[in-house]
Amino acid sequence: MSVEINVLLVEDEPHIRRVLNAVLAEEGYRVYEAETGARGLIEASTRKPDLLIVDLGLPDMDGVEVVRSVRHWSEVPILILSARTEETEKIVALDEGADDYLTKPFGVGELLARVRALVRRRARGGDGVPVVSFGDVKVDLVRRAVTRADEPVHLTNIEYRLLAVLVSHPGKVLTHPHLMREVWGPGQAENSHYLRIYVSRLRQKLEPNPTEPEYLLTESGVGYRFVA
C-alpha cells in the first residue's frame, strides 16, 4: 500500500494498546493512541484517521458516547472492542453507527481480518458499488438482478431488498432493528421473526451450504453481517 493508512486506537489498558499497536504497525498501518474518550475525540478530529478502534469500557466516558460524537461529523469506520459484561452496550454502539465489534479475548488474526475489511471498504469509496459479487453470485444493484453461476435467481421483493441492504455494507454488522427498519419500514421491530425467515430463504437460494453460511453470517443476539 503506497498511501499510509491511519488508525486511531482509543483504549485505556496499556498492555492491549501496546499489543495492538505492534500488530497494526507490523501490517503497515500508522497507529495513533488515546487513553481516554475525551483524548480520543480530539485525536479523531485532528488526525482524521481512516479507522477508529474504540474500547467500550473507557475510564472517562462510555465508548458508545465516543461513537455517537464521531458519527456527528464523520463516516470513518469504527471497530469496537467489548468485554463480555458489555454485551448490550455493544448492540447500542452498533445501532449508533459503529461498524463492527470484537469481544475480548480475541485473536490477532481475527482483529486483522476485521481491520482489513473495514479499511478496504473505506478505500473503495465506501458503499454504492453497482455490482457486488460473492462466491458464484452476482448482485447488480442498478438493474436489480441477481445471478448465481450466471443463471438468474428469482428473488421476491422483500428478499431482494434485504439482500441489497446486506451487500451494500460488506463487513458491517447490521443489527436486527436496523435491518427491520431498512426492509420493512419503521414500527416493525417486534416482528423480527420475518427477518429470520427471509435470511434463511436467502441462504437457501444463494449459499453453497445453507447450514454453514459463508457470506450471510449470523451474529447471535445482534444481527447479520455480509462478508464477500
Partner 1 sequence: MTCGKAANASWSSAYPMAITACVLTAVLAMPLRHYLDLANIVMLFLLVTFLTALKLGRGPAVVSAVLGVVLFDYIFVPPHLAFIPTDAQYMVMLVVMLAVALVTGQLTAGAREQTELACRREEQTRRLYQLARDLAGALSRWDMQRALDDYLRHSGYRAMLHLLDANGVATTPVAEPGLAEHIDAVLRRGESIEGDAAAPALFIPLKTPARISGVMVVSASGPASPPAMQDREMFLVVASLAAITVERLDAADEVQASRDQYASERLRASILSALSHDLRTPLTALVGMTDTLALSDGRSADRPTPEMLAAIRDQARSIGHMVTNLLDMARLYAGNVSLRKEWQLFDDVIGASLRQLRAAHPGQPVRTRLAPDLPLVEFDAVLLERVLGNLLENAVKYAPAEPTIEVDAWVDGRDACLAVSDRGPGFPPQRIERMFGLFERGNPESSRPGVGLGLAICRAIVEAHGGEIRAENRADGGARVTIRLPLGTPPAFEEEDEPG
* Cell 446486506 -> residue: 166
Residue closer to partner 1 by CB (options 41, 172) is 172
Cβ proximity to partner 1, 98 vs 163, nearer residue:
163
Nine cell digits for residue 148: 448465481
Comparison of 32 and 194: residue with beta carbon closer to partner 1: 194
Task: Note whether 185 binds partner 1 by CB under 8 A.
Answer: no
In terms of CB distance, is 133 or 200 closer to partner 1?
A: 200
Distance in Å, CB of 219 to partner 1, minimum? 7
Residue carrying the nine cell digits 458491517: 172
| β-strand pairing of 100-103 with 78-82 | parallel
Decide whether 171 or 213 has the Cβ nearer to partner 1: 213
Does residue 155 bind partner 1 (CB under 8 A)?
Answer: yes
| Residue 218 interacts with partner 1 (CB under 8 A): yes or no | yes
By CB under 8 A, tell whether 156 contacts partner 1.
yes
Residue 15 in contact with partner 1, rule: CB under 8 A: no
Residue 86 engages partner 1 in binding (rule: CB under 8 A): no
Report the nearest approach of partner 1 to the CB of residue 137 (Å): 17
DSSP reduced 3-state for 111: helix
Residue type, 11: E
Does the protein bind partner 1 through residue 157 (CB under 8 A)?
yes
Shortest separation between residue 128's beta carbon and partner 1, angstroms: 22
- Pick the closest to residue 198 from 214, 186, 184 (CA basis): 184
Provide the grid cell at 13.
Answer: 489498558
Give the whole-angstrom CA distance, residue 224 versus residue 109. 21
Q: Does 220 bind partner 1 (CB under 8 A)?
A: yes
d(CA 128, CA 209): 28
Q: Residues with Cβ < 8 Å from 13, sequence gap 6 or more?
A: 55
Count residues near partner 1 (CB under 8 A): 30
Q: Rounded to an integer, what distance in angstroms lies between the CA atom of residue 228 and that of residue 214?
A: 9
Task: Please report how close the Cβ of residue 226 comes to partner 1 at its closest, in angstroms.
Answer: 14
Per-residue contact flags (x/-) with partner 1 for residues 99 to 138, judged by CB under 8 A: ------x-x--x----------------------------
The residue to which cell 498511501 is assigned: 3
The continuous run of DSSP H or E covering 1 comes out as: none
Query: Under 8 Å CB-to-CB from 104, ≥6 apart: which residues?
Result: 81, 82, 83, 84
Contacts with partner 1, residue ranges (CB under 8 A): 84, 87, 105, 107, 110, 154-160, 191-194, 196-197, 199-200, 203, 210-213, 217-221
